Amino acid sequence: MPELVFFSGTMDCGKSTLALQIEHNRSARGLVGMIFTRNDRAGEGKLSSRLGLVTDAVEVAADQDLYASLVEHLSQGRRADYVIADEAQFLAPEQIDQLARVVDDLGLDVYAFGITTDFRSKLFPGSQRLVELADRIEVLQVEALCWCGARATHNARTIGGEMVVEGAQVVVGDVNQAADEVGYEVLCRRHHRRRMTAATARAAALSPDVLPVSSG
Ligand SMILES: [Zn+2]
């Protein structure tokens, strides 16, 4: 039975690497995939992983009907044996419905990869719709780690290393960003709640204010 599978996780948990691995394994068996992405770090029409692998993909437009795109592709006599949707958190809820229809009406497996929650720890609309519709949800457990060493479960947005909790839901940036730019950092829930990034933790450790007071 074809399935809609949602591979979810934090930033930096290896989602795109797994998407590329799935693509590689299937193309090695002679299967052809339709690969959708949106706002990939490598630029338009690319699916890239942090480990340096990259493949061409279809950049999804905000108003694109993904079901209609597949039907058109197939009706032109071109092949698609399965579908990969990377950065699926950036898709509109209706586009997730269209992917479910690709599974049900076209009989194709759809593998969607996305970040579950945004920098305020709220569900992205696309991810919410995937949680509602997916046949199966796989939570990726590649050990993305908080600076404290705990498993990172939350995405923080940073400006100059300081965590921010207001702003537009989608601002494209990346981990390891230059100091004053919008960046992202994965944190454990404790440090996400305390808004303590690696940079602010380092600053706090150097500050005399927080040295333990001797009771003498
Ligand atoms: Zn932590």
Secondary structure element (H or E) that encloses residue 193, with its range: helix 189-193
Q: What is the pLDDT of residues 175-186, one digit of tens each?
A: 666 667 888 899
Higher pLDDT, 203 or 123: 123
Instruction: Say how many Å lie between the CA of residue 195 and the centre of ligand 1.
Output: 10
Q: What is the pLDDT of residues 117-164, one digit of tens each?
A: 999 999 999 999 999 999 999 988 777 889 999 988 899 999 888 899
Residue 87 appears among annotated catalytic residues: yes
For position 194, what pLDDT does the model report? 94
Catalytic residue among 44, 59, 72, 87: 87
Classify strands 4-9 and 33-37 as parallel, antiparallel or unpaired: unpaired
For position 17, what pLDDT does the model report? 87
Q: What pTM value is reported for the model? A: 0.82
Q: Which residues pair with 111 in a beta bridge?
A: 5, 84
Instruction: Say how many Å lie between the CA of residue 148 and the centre of ligand 1.
Output: 4
Instruction: Say how many Å lie between the CA of residue 189 and the centre of ligand 1.
Output: 7
Q: What is the pLDDT of residues 62-115, one digit of tens each?
A: 999 999 999 999 999 999 999 999 999 999 999 999 999 999 999 999 999 999
Which residues in the chain are classed under CATH 3.40.50.300?
1-142
d(CA 31, CA 85): 16
Instruction: Say how many Å lie between the CA of residue 161 and the centre of ligand 1.
Output: 15
What percentage of the chain reaches a pLDDT higher than 70? 91
Using the predicted structure, report yes or no on whether residue 49 has a pLDDT greater than 90: no
Q: Which CATH number fits domain 1-142: 3.50.50.60, 3.40.1390.10, 3.40.50.300, 3.40.50.410?
A: 3.40.50.300
